[in-house]
Amino acid sequence: MSNGILVFVEQRNGQVRKSSLEALSEARRQAPMGKELVIAVIAGENIKSLAARVSKVKPDRILVADNAGFGKYSTEAYAAVLSAAIKKENPRYVFAANTAMGKDLLARTAAKFDAPCASDVLELRPDNGNLLAVRALYSGKCRGVFEFTSPLAFMTLRPNVFALSEAENGQQSPIEDLSVTADKVRAAVAETHAAEGQKVELSEASVIVAGGRGIKGPENWPVLQNLCDVLGAALGASRAVVDSGWIDHGHQVGQTGKTVSPQLYIACGISGAIQHLAGMSSSKVIVAINKDAEAPIFKHATYGIVGDVLEVVPRLTEELRKLNSN
């Protein structure tokens, strides 16, 4: 691999996104220190202090575009930053986390450079000095291995799949100012509103508790939320309950919702329609709780309990709370 990997590190409100550091960690694994270059690029306003956190993943250098014009996200302004970094470093690959911002930015910038882009990459395979990208298709019902025949290629890496490797201490990576003026900005973020009710983001959560028809009604979400709170989990939902208006679409897991790969997925009262299974079957451990012993979800579960969600979940919450307090 010549010229190494450039990684776009996403920050919002002065917080570096963990999934960006996962992408940076993977870049460092694919381009080992001393052999290949890994350069991080970050944009925002008053963000110089974030370089310390980014340094823990040991990029060779950090390019910082810090000015008032980058305080709020704009595809065109950030694409100007990323383009300037690419022209300066001439990398073989450009990585970012597969987030709303990562996809929006890398797709636009890839087209600017007439270069290909692979989104939601699950695995990278070294291949004669190049990288092959493995990505899910049909929401995970199958997978595709892709090769790039261009000198530059872009990829967004799925959160929670690539291990974060941060050094506890060590040297600060050298920082370079990236002086960019975005002259053509025709659309930009004016304001941001936090979504209601979701304390942990679904696609980045390491534990997900999801509810389906078996929770009997929207008045029972607190039963699942209590379990979420004990586990630090995000709350997910089946399409059936989203379509019934029990919960916002932002919680939907599966085809036409989010595809997730947490360490632990607890399916509560979800029967396991093919579209739902597609979105969560790459979870490491799946627990199914359903009163119908014949529900398809049990065929995919690591552990199953046949029983009423509204009886089992409160007991489970209590038992886990005891474990936490010990």
Residue 2 near other proteins by CB under 8 A: no
Amino acid type, 273: A
The answer to whether residue 193 forms part of the interface with other proteins (CB under 8 A) is yes
Token pair of 4 as six digits: 């190494």
| Per-residue binding letters, 105-134, with other proteins (x by CB under 8 A) | -xxxxxxx-xxxxxxx-----------x--
Residue 293 touching other proteins (CB under 8 A): yes
The yes or no reply on residue 163 touching other proteins (CB under 8 A) is: no
Size of the site for other proteins (CB under 8 A): 93
Please check whether residue 258 is in contact with residue 203, taking contact to mean a CB–CB distance below 8 angstroms. yes
Contact flag: residue 94 with other proteins (CB under 8 A): no
DSSP strand pairing (61-66 vs 175-177): parallel
Determine if 160 is a binding residue for other proteins (CB under 8 A).
Answer: no
Among 53, 103, 213, 291, binds other proteins (CB under 8 A): 103
Q: How far is the CB of 176 from other proteins (least distance, A)?
A: 26
Our finding on whether 174 is near other proteins (CB under 8 A) is no
- Judged by CB under 8 A, the chain residues 201 through 230 that form the site for other proteins are 201, 203-204, 207
What string marks each residue from 5 to 34 as x (binds other proteins by CB under 8 A) or -? ------------------------------
Pick one of 15, 90, 172, 302: the residue that binds other proteins (CB under 8 A): 302
Give SS3 for 313.
Answer: helix
Which region among 55-63, 70-78, 160-168, 218-226 touches other proteins (by CB under 8 A)? 70-78
Q: Choose, by CB under 8 A, the member of 168, 169, 194, 245 that binds other proteins.
A: 194
Of residues 170, 218, 244, 248, which one binds other proteins by CB under 8 A?
Answer: 248
Question: 3-class DSSP state for residue 66?
Answer: strand
What is the C-alpha separation between 305 and 287, in angstroms, rounded?
8
Q: For other proteins, which is the closer residue by CB, 34 or 245?
A: 245
Residues 137-156 that bind other proteins (CB under 8 A): 137-150, 153
The stretch near other proteins (CB under 8 A) out of 28-36, 46-54, 74-82, 173-181 is 74-82
Q: Which of 104, 166, 176, 229 binds other proteins (CB under 8 A)?
A: 104
Is residue 61 exposed (0-12), middle (13-18) or buried (19+ Cβ within 10 Å)? middle
For CA atoms 283, 284, 287, 292, give the dihedral sign.
positive
| 46 contacts 60 by C-beta, under 8 angstroms | no
> What is the C-alpha separation between 188 and 141, in angstroms, rounded?
36
Is 309 a residue that touches other proteins (CB under 8 A)? no
Distances (CA, A) of 190 to 72, 168, 187: 7, 37, 9
Look at residue 302 and give its three-state secondary structure: coil
Smallest distance, Å, CB 235 to other proteins?
12
Q: b vs e for 91-115, b when ≥16 Cβ sit within 10 Å of the residue's Cβ?
A: bbbbbbbbbebbbbbbbbbbeebeb
Q: Which residues contact 16 (CB under 8 A, 6 or more apart)?
A: 9, 10, 42, 50, 53, 54
Integer-rounded Cα Rg, in Å, for the chain is: 21
Closest distance of CB 141 from other proteins, Å:
4
In angstroms, what is the minimal distance from the CB of 21 to other proteins?
Answer: 15
